[in-house]
Structure 1
Amino acid sequence: MVDLPPLPAVVVGHVSHSRRMPLRHRFRYRTYQWLVDVDALPRGRFSAKDHLGLGPSLRDNVATFTAAHGVQLRPDDRVVMLANAKSVFGFVFDPLSVFWCLSSAGELRCVVLEIHNTYGERHAQLAKPDAAGRFTLGKEFYVSPFFTVNGRYDVTLRLDQERVAVAIDLVQHDRRVFSAAFTGRPRPAGRRTVVRAALLTPLLTHQIWLLIRMHGVWLWLRRLPVIRREPHVPPEGVR
């Protein structure tokens, strides 16, 4: 049973990355994300075209994807999304969005992880976490130009009234080579909370895009080999 906080919520916290080999590199930044019910989206902050497909609604996009991968959403199922909202200029960049698909009783049916890279491509995968929120997915998508598209992701999710967290370890050749995590505390998305988050982390999605590029340049200048990117074919249910 998932104990949801009041929605919509602003989840204020930190994101961290740790690269372990062949070059060690770490960073940690203050950030925030939105936690929303896709059937009751804050006005003007989210668009269906930014996630998964090109359907008439975000819920339709999620339902189309889950159906293509073995989970048929019921009319009374609830879909909760953790994602970045559009900036005041209409720009959004969301490296990772998480969708929790819940029964009307609050039981977790599945989760969907949607990944965007800085090349304008997107990918998604469906999983069924265990009771501790853990699951494993094969790496199928070119994200960093410094990692090959192989290995697996070991993922742990947490969603409750006290904490929202996503932790991902990339394992290649039986070695944990990279870790990424977001953790934060959900707060009701009242006007004061939203304004405070935006002032403390202004132009958030622009910052994320720029920081990814800056860290990539830092690694390239240290002669970390660049992996060639092959054309990506999105999975069924993703456009």
Structure 2
Amino acid sequence: MTATLYAGRLTHTRRAPLHRVFRHRLYVWLVDLDDLPTYPRWLRPFTGIVPSDHFDGPDRPLRAHVDAWLRDQGIESAGGRVLMLTSARVFGYVFNPLTVYWCLTPEGDTASVIAEVHNTYGERHRYLLRPSSTGRARTDKTFYVSPFLEVAGEYRMCLPVPRERLALTVTLVQDGRPVFSASLTGRHRGAGPRDVLRTVLSHPLLPQRVSLAIRLHGIALWLRRLQVFPRRHAVRTPR
């Protein structure tokens, strides 16, 4: 089985105009899009990875969706594996603040990375990245995520392919200073049926709880009278 679970922590740090830290224990999946895991019927309510949670359009495998999207950007498939870091559905519900796709060459090098951002309004946006050998990349912020952060500035990301450890960071820089950062860290676990059962029991109803926690965090910021930036239009599947 090529799938892997990482159990760890999500940390959001707001640096301006006030300092506030949000932390949550979680787990995420790393899967090969050409070899998605299958589980016994009794585990499937906890392991759903569904193409429609990431792409609209024809009902086809995730790998086909990724290759088609890359072609729309003028890029042919690198010819190697595509690794996807994501959350799975639990009892039919999923919340994926960030899904990352590493598009590899046949030699295992990273040709490109897709960072797919989901917000709490049911919208999503994909950033095409050309990271350095250490996984570092930059891109302008063009998608509305939080009502407390303007759609402006630059994301500075560090997205190395996970190995034994998972360590991703995204920092939003506006007017020359970091105003927000998010980090996702974790340690490798197996993804056999026993590993999955142990992980979901230690993190019950994970996507539901993460979604609720983020909304409660937003209410706390609103009560602090933090400036709200209106959401002007919805974006579902941008090119």
TM-score > 0.5, shorter chain as reference: yes
Q: Deviations over 1:167-196 (max 9, x none)?
A: 000000111000000011222201222112
Q: Are residues 1:17 and 2:20 paired?
A: no
Q: CA–CA distance in 2 between the matches of 1:97 and 1:128?
A: 16
Q: CA deviation at 1:54?
A: 2.8
Q: How does 1:123-138 map to 2 (within 5 A)?
A: 123-138=125-140
Q: 1:60 aligns with which of 60, 64, 77?
A: 64
1:50 aligns with 2:53: yes
Q: Deviations over 1:139-185 (max 9, x none)?
A: 01000000110101000012243212210000001110000000112
> 5+ residue gaps in structure 1?
1-5
Residue 145 (structure 1) aligned to one of 147, 158, 163 = 147
Q: 1:53 to 1:165 in 2, by over 3 A?
A: farther
* 1:69 CA drift (Å): 1.6
Match of 2:182 among 170, 180, 183: 180
**2:34 is equivalent to residue 34 of structure 1:** no
Comparing 191-200 and 15-24, the one that deviates more: 191-200
SS at match of 1:153: strand
Residue 37 of structure 2 aligns with an amino acid whose one-letter code is P
Correspondence 1:79 to 2:82: yes
Deviations 1:179-223 (A, max 9, x none): 000011222201222112111111111011101100000000111
1:65-117 Cα deviation digits (max 9, x unpaired): 1111232115x421100000010x21111010000001121111100000110
Q: Aligned-pair distance for 1:132?
A: 1.0
Q: State the partner residue of 1:3.
A: none
Instruction: Work out the CA distance in 1 between the residues paired with 2:37 and 2:92.
Output: 14
Deviations 1:26-70 (A, max 9, x none): 022211100001111123521111113333111111111111123
Distance (Å, rounded) in 2 between the aligned partners of 1:94 and 1:50: 9
Residue ranges of structure 2 left out of the alignment (5+ in a row): 39-43
Secondary structure of 1:192's counterpart equals: helix
Task: Classify the secondary structure of the residue corresponding to 1:210.
Answer: helix
Aligned residue identity for 2:82: V
User: Is 1:235 paired with 2:238?
Assistant: yes
Q: Provide the TM-score with structure 1 as the length reference.
A: 0.92
Paired amino acid for 1:222: R
- Give, as a single letter, the amino acid of the residue that structure 1 aligns with 2:14: R
Q: Counterpart of 1:124 in 2: which secondary structure?
A: strand
Aligned with 2:185: secondary structure?
A: strand
Q: What percent of counterpart residues are identical?
A: 45
| Superposed CA offset, 1:109-133 (max 9, x none) | 1000001100011100111100111
In 1: Cα distance, 2:18 partner to 2:162 partner: 35
Normalization by structure 2: what TM-score?
0.92
Q: Calculate the aligned-residue CA RMSD, in Å.
A: 1.4
Give the number of equivalent residue pairs: 229
Structure 1 counterpart SS, 2:214: helix
AA aligned opposite 1:98: V
